[in-house]
Amino acid sequence: MRDNLGPTLLPGLLAERYGLTVHGLVQLPIGQGTVNYRVTCAGGDVFVKSYPAGTDLEGEAGAIELSELARRHGIPAAAVLRNRDGQTIDGTTSLAVSIWRWVPGHVVTELNTSQYEQAGDALGRIHALFAKLPANSTSNRKVDEWRDIDLNDLAATANGLLSIIASRKAERVLDAFDTVAERTLLERRQMLPLIPELLAELPDSLAVQVLHGDYSPVNLLFTGDELAAVIDFSPPDPFLLAYDLGRMAFYPNTVTGDPQWLHAARTLITAYIAANPAVSDIDIRACGRVALLQLMRSLYGVKQHYMKPGLFQDDLDEFWLLRHEAVARMLRHLPEIDALLDDLTTRRPSSGREEL
């Protein structure tokens, strides 16, 4: 799937709304929710994010303001360019876009020790900064919905996907992904009864605040070992602090691809605590289980494969397999995860904020 509006509309839009002269552009094979371009202009390259119809542009503008807030406070982030009206998102044409200064750098899926430390430090600084935002006074509706996991619905969705695979088998059109998808879906269905106990063990008083929302290796750009930019902030919708921390500390690529994944989590969380010393012990201890529950409740990737393929579905297929393997590994090593997080809290020079 390719976007056809960008090459046609972007040169004129960038000239009229941003005063930029386009010399060339290329669509980038990244991103599932937006269509992205690298555009060469007279004054240097820019990154263009184009939003599909139906996108909550107000929410996306809020996400950009979070990125700018972080950048103003010294956290490495890409700089957004405002249009002639001072807006971060231009919606004057059928192609709604945000324009960013190009940041040299690359995504690293297997981080080294220095990169884990920088990633943990940046996330800690982001959380410490965002904890002061007034948006944190809103309700915890999103958290309540996250805790209310409908196991019957999850099982029914898995069964529906298995039925599609069974039909493909009967029609003799089964492919390699169908085979592995069937196995992993059957395994996931057997894991679902473990969810209620894991949920019950989570404290009710976990911290809720504005987050990055999608903090992971794919949204960190490095130049060599140096963190060049944190990108793709989410809209300011408060959620569990432990979600952001656990998502990065126990990212599926790390859990499945790094034999020292527990040590990597320790390195990242140690740097996080140093940058955000106000974080409570209960949030640190919960981050592994929150990450695990988020993975267990999600059929992201395999669901899209059979129901509504994504822009880069091969990447989603691989991500589903990594996520599922990460679930299995984390369940096997849950005592070690709990021991690691408990050790990190007991070794702190001073405890974090008390339970809320």
- The pLDDT profile of the chain, 356 residues, written as one tens digit per residue, is 445 678 899 999 999 999 999 999 999 988 778 999 999 999 999 999 999 999 999 999 999 999 999 999 999 999 999 999 999 999 999 999 999 999 999 999 899 999 999 999 999 999 999 999 988 765 688 999 999 999 999 999 999 999 999 999 999 999 999 999 999 999 999 999 999 999 999 999 999 999 999 999 999 999 999 999 999 999 999 999 999 999 999 999 999 999 999 999 999 999 999 999 999 999 999 999 999 999 999 999 999 999 998 778 998 999 999 999 999 999 999 999 999 999 999 988 654 544 43
Position 210 scores a pLDDT of 97
Which pTM does this prediction carry?
0.93
Cα separations in angstroms, 135 against 164, 186, 192, 236: 43, 41, 34, 7
Which of 317, 126, 337 has the alpha carbon at shortest distance from 233? Answer: 126
Cα separations in angstroms, 235 against 81, 150, 326, 328: 18, 25, 27, 31
Which residues make Cβ contacts (< 8 Å) with residue 53, sequence separation at least 6?
none
Residues 217-240 have pLDDT tens digits of 999 999 999 999 999 999 999 999
Whether domain 5-101 has CATH 3.90.180.10: the reply is no
Mind spelling out the 3-state secondary structure of 203-260?
CCCCCEECCCCCCCHHHEEEECCEEEEECCCCCCCCEEHHHHHHHHHCCHHHHHHCCC
Position 139 scores a pLDDT of 61
With beta carbons less than 8 A apart as the criterion, state whether 58 and 46 touch.
no
For 195, counting Cβ atoms within 10 Å of its Cβ (0-12 exposed, 13-18 middle, 19+ buried), the class is middle
Position 186 scores a pLDDT of 98
For 163, counting Cβ atoms within 10 Å of its Cβ (0-12 exposed, 13-18 middle, 19+ buried), the class is exposed
With beta carbons less than 8 A apart as the criterion, state whether 241 and 90 touch.
no
Position 292 scores a pLDDT of 99
Position 345 scores a pLDDT of 96
Residues 354, 356: Cα–Cα separation, whole Å: 6
User: What CATH homologous superfamily does 113-346 map to?
Assistant: Aminoglycoside phosphotransferase (APH), C-terminal lobe (3.90.1200.10)
Position 275 scores a pLDDT of 98
Tokens of 30: 């990244």
Position 356 scores a pLDDT of 31
Position 348 scores a pLDDT of 80
Residue extents of the structural domains in the chain: 5-101, 113-346
Beta bridge partner(s), residue 25: 39
Position 29 scores a pLDDT of 87
